[in-house]
Structure 1
Amino acid sequence: MHYKKKESTTHHSFLFMKANDWDELETLLENIDEKTTEMTEKYTHEPPIQKNPCEELICGWGKECVINKIGEPTCDCISKCPSLDGDPLDQVCSNTNQTFPSLCELYRERCVCKHKSNDCKNKINAKVHLEYLGVCKRLEPCTDELMAQFPTRMADWLFQVMRELKKRRELHNLEWEELIAEAESNDEKKHVYPVIWKFCDLDIKPHDKHVSHHELIPITAPVIPMESCIKPFLENCDDNNDGNISIQEWGQCLGLKEGWSSSGK
């Protein structure tokens, strides 16, 4: 039995189109081509979306990214710090014992003074830096007795901080969670692990097994008002006076035995 091949509906309709139908189709196709050309030209001639040059540049405190004369992003003193609601908790105390409205205002002043701008209020502020959070106040003197006790107090405090972070699941490292669990039942590790953990926590930029003054700010700024010995203690940790505390200096200063501090865990 033979079957007749069935033609497609489209092909069949094309065979029976009248002349004027072809004219309409040609016009329709021409219009489509014209629109396609217009759209292509539109997207071809539209300038590409410009990437913000400042997007990947991170500026320090008191600075902002600006585009220089040759179109390159650079960090410059911030023109105006964000306005705050006057909360005393935003205020900070500098190493020159001046209270600033915010961290931004302190480092803006440092920046404009370093650049000898007319905005500088006092030229000594070219070297100003954060001492501690809050309004400047009279601190309890750090006596010899308090200084002698400080390594133990600091290690105990770090252990409590570490344990609290573990409870909140904010240690961000399973290994540290396991180590602090070990330390809870071992007095020696209770002292050692938090000391090494804090060094690693501070040694961020650059990550070079040394902690600079700038890297120490997260631990000193909130603590100085309550613990006046922390600054002189950490200054004494820098045995070779190179402006940085090595992992060995940190461990020795906080009473770790030889071998623990050099491991840099």
Structure 2
Amino acid sequence: MDKKTIVEETEKYYLPVFGRYPMVMELGHGCRVWDNEGNEYVDAFAGIAVNSLGYNHPVLVKAISEQAAKLMHCSNLYYTEIQVKALRVVAEATGMDRIFFANCGAEGNEGAMKLARKYGVSKAPTKYKIISADESFHGRTFDTLAATGHDYYHVGYGPLSPGHVLVPYGDIKALEAQMDDDVCAVLLEPIQGEGGVHVPPAEYLQQVRALCDKHDALLIFDEVQTGVARTGKWFAYMHSGVKPDILTFAKGIGGGFPVAGFAVPERLAHVFKPGDHGGTFGGNPLA
């Protein structure tokens, strides 16, 4: 099909939730992409922070091709060798003990908050409050939307999920004013990336860690954007020396294929019991 037909047919059938550029992409190699009219571009978006190895990296293409020919999907009702290899690699890279695989960053953050809520409510029925930051972005599901600190994402949906509180990013006094024993978690990006690149003040993450420890609240770091060496270390928390209780990951970890999830230390491994959480496609052999 020509460009005009592709654009018109897409606009006819696709739900209009994206503001698209009038370009039809056809081929990618390295950091460059070509449209169906032969024009060449440098993809400075990296597929929205996803294509960490560029387009068509031969090792990635080979791995996906070989696995697709063997087993694409079999569900988590069974064990696979490729999954345990991936679990080991992610555990070593994150510095955590247990991994849950999902499909996108919102799923990873949703699962992390769900685990934190279960942890909190097991201590006290009112311990379900989650604090996150203004100008943050954590996803577009209802719970991740409630944790996201941009009003324009909230407009038009009526009441969002209860139990969420927003505070200014980097302001430890504002966080301290909201902290109490009803807080089950504080959810932060080690470096914010949605409303501008916001690096927290020195010692801020250490102070947040101390507040969480004081109130028995879990510290969740959303490393969907900052993870996988985008700040020079495997994960951005490693610059601060502050280890979270839950770490979420997505985007660049799949090199362009949908891979996401969250990681926890062994002490949180049994907050969820079988059946408490799951997903049909997360951790499939191809991913």
> Structure 1 length normalisation: TM-score?
0.26
Larger Rg: 1
Q: Is the helix fraction higher in 1 or 2?
A: 1
Q: Is the strand fraction higher in 1 or 2?
A: 2
